[in-house]
Amino acid sequence: MHLKQSKVSIVKCREYHEFKKVKEAVRQVVDLIGGMESVISPGDHILIKPNLICAADYATGATTNPNVVFAIAELCREVGAKQVTIAEGSAIGHDTEKVFDALGFRKLAQKHNCNLLNFHKDEYAYVMNPLGRQIKRIRIPRAFIESNVVINVPVMKTHDALAVTLGLKNMKGIIHPSDKKRFHKWGLSQTVVDLGHLAMPELTIVDGTVALEGMGPVVGKPVGLGMLLASTDTIAVDRVSMDIMGFGLEEVEYIQLAGEQGLGCTQMDKIKVLGEELSNIKRPFQRLSLDEKLLEEMGIKVIACDACSGCNNVVNAYIHGLHVKGKLEKLKGCTLIYGQNPHMPDEDAQRIIRLGTCTRNVPMNEGVYVPGCPPHPMHISDFIDGKGLEKE
* pLDDT tens track for 218-237: 989 999 999 999 999 999 99
Q: Which long-range contacts (CB under 8 A, 24 or more apart) does 275-280 make?
A: 275/9, 275/10, 275/11, 275/28, 275/29, 275/32, 276/10, 276/11, 276/12, 276/227, 278/10, 278/240, 278/243, 278/244
Q: How far apart are CA 189 and CA 47, in angstroms?
A: 25
**pTM for the structure as a whole:** 0.88
Please tell me the predicted confidence (pLDDT) of residue 1: 35
**What's the pLDDT at 364?**
60
Average the pLDDT over 100-114 and give the result: 98
Res. 388 pLDDT band, cuts 50 70 90: low
For 173, residues 6+ apart whose C-beta sits below 8 A from its C-beta are: 49, 51, 52, 53, 88, 89, 90, 119
Calculated CA dihedral for residues 239, 242, 244, 248, nearest 10 degrees: -100
| Structural domains of the chain, with CATH | 6-281 (3.40.50.11440), 292-384 (no CATH)
What are 334's strand-pairing partners?
Answer: 351
CA distance 237 to 6: 9
pLDDT of residue 280: 95
Average the pLDDT over 186-212 and give the result: 96
Q: What is the pLDDT of residue 392?
A: 36
Quote the pLDDT of residue 2. Answer: 39
Question: Of 37-41, 321-325, 387-391, which gets the smallest average pLDDT?
Answer: 387-391
State the CB neighbour count (10 A cutoff) for residue 225: 23
Q: Which residues pair with 273 in a beta bridge?
A: 8
Alpha-carbon distance of 56 to 52, in angstroms, equals: 8
Average predicted confidence (pLDDT) for the chain: 92
User: Would you say residue 3 has pLDDT above 50?
Assistant: yes
What does the pLDDT look like over 326-383, one tens digit per residue?
Answer: 999 999 999 999 988 888 776 667 788 999 999 887 766 667 889 999 888 777 888 8
- Contact residues for 386 (Cβ-Cβ < 8 A; gap 6+): none
What's the CA gap between 23 and 136, in Å, rounded? 40
Crossing angle for the helix pair 188-198 and 253-260, to the nearest 10 degrees: 40
pLDDT recorded at residue 258:
98
Q: Are the C-beta atoms of residues 335 and 297 closer than 8 Å to each other?
A: no
